[in-house]
Structure 1
C-alpha cells in the first residue's frame, strides 16, 4: 500500500487546490456563497482521508518509511497552515477577480517585520510539534517500535527545517531593514 499512500498524498494536494479554486470561484465569480462555503469546509476532509490511509497502511503491517513521513509532514502543515493558506488565496483571488482590496503585505522592515518573522517561525515550530504528535500517535496505534522507528527518526530529523527557518527572524531582529518614511 506504500505506493497508494503516495498517490493519496498527491491526490490530497491536488484536491486541496481544486477545492480551493472551486470554492473561491463559487464565491467571487459565480456568487454562490453557500456552495463556496461547502467546498471550503470540505478541504479538511482530505486530511482525514490521508490520516486514515496512513493508519490503515501501518496497522496492516507496513514498515514506516519516507512516504509515511511525508504524510505526517503534509498533515502537520495542513493543520497548522491550512487556514492561513486559505486566507492567503482568498485575498488574492478576491483582489484579482472580484475587485477586492490588494492583499496585505508583510511589513517592509523594522521591528514590525521582525515580529512578523518570529510569529511565522513560531507557527513552523508548532507544525513540527504537530508532526511529532501525529508520528507518536501513529507509533502508538501500530504498537510495533521496529516498524515505526524510521518514522520517528524522520520526524526527529525535521528539526533541521525549524532551525533553518530560525535564520529569518534572527536576521530581521539583529539587522532590521530600515523602513523608509513616507513624506507628504
Structure 2
C-alpha cells in the first residue's frame, strides 16, 4: 500500500505541477496557477500522514515506510528548484520567455553547481533521517525498527556519493577542450 501511495504522490506532484503551469501559460490564470502550485506541499503532507497513520494502526514497519520518508525528504529539498526549472522551460516554450540557462559545464561554476546539489541532497537526507527517527519513536516495540533504521546508511551513502561528485568537480575541474 505504501509503495502505491508514494507512486501516487509522485504522479500527483507532476500532475499538479503540469496543471499549475498550464493554468499560468496556456490559460493566463495566474491566481489559479499559484493556488495549484501552492498545493504541491500538500502531496508530501498526504504521503507522510498516510504513512504515519499506517504505522499508528499497527502495520509492521517496512522498508516502504522509509521510502515514503525519503520521498518526502527529497521532494521538500528539491521541490522548489524543480518547480523553478520547469517554470523556466515552460515559459520558454509556451510564453516566449528566454531560454533557461543550462547547468554550467566547466570550472568553478560547475563546482559551485555541484555543491548546491550536494546541499540539497544533504538537506533531503537530514529530513529523511528526522522523519524516520520520528517514525521509530511512534513504534511501541523498538525491536521492530530495523526496516526503518536501514534507511540511515542508505541516506549516508546517497549523501556520500553527492559529496564525492561535488568534491571531484572542485579538485579536478573539467576544462573546455
Shorter-chain TM range is over 0.9
CA contact under 8 A between 1:63 and 1:148: conserved in structure 2? no
Segments of structure 1 that go 5 or more residues without pairing to the other structure are none
Residue number in structure 2 paired with 1:152: 149
Residue number among 21, 26, 31 corresponding to 2:23 in the alignment: 26
Partner SS state of residue 174, structure 2: coil
Partner SS state of residue 107, structure 1: coil
Distance 1:134 1:34 in 2: 33
After TM superposition, the score normalised by the length of structure 1 is: 0.90
Distance 1:50 1:67 in 2: 12
After TM superposition, the score normalised by the length of structure 2 is: 0.94
Distance 1:10 1:108 in 2: 33
Kindly provide the CA deviation profile for residues 82-110 of structure 1, in whole angstroms up to 9, marking residues without a partner as x: 11111111111111111111112222211
Distance 1:56 1:100 in 2: 44
Residue number among 30, 41, 48 corresponding to 1:51 in the alignment: 48
Kindly provide the CA deviation profile for residues 16-62 of structure 1, in whole angstroms up to 9, marking residues without a partner as x: 11100010000011101111011100111111111111111111111
Distance 1:74 1:109 in 2: 31
Residue number in structure 2 paired with 1:105: 102
How many pairs align? 177
Segments of structure 2 that go 5 or more residues without pairing to the other structure are none
Residue number among 142, 158, 163 corresponding to 1:161 in the alignment: 158
State whether structure 2 residue 11 is matched by structure 1 residue 14.
yes
Runs of 4 or more above 6 Å deviation? none
Give the Å deviation of 1:179.
Answer: 4.8
Residue number in structure 2 paired with 1:141: 138
Residue number in structure 1 paired with 2:80: 83
Residue number among 115, 126, 134 corresponding to 1:129 in the alignment: 126
Distance 1:48 1:142 in 2: 20
Partner SS state of residue 166, structure 1: helix
More deviation, 94-103/17-26:
94-103
More deviation, 99-108/42-51:
99-108
* RMSD of aligned alpha carbons: 1.4
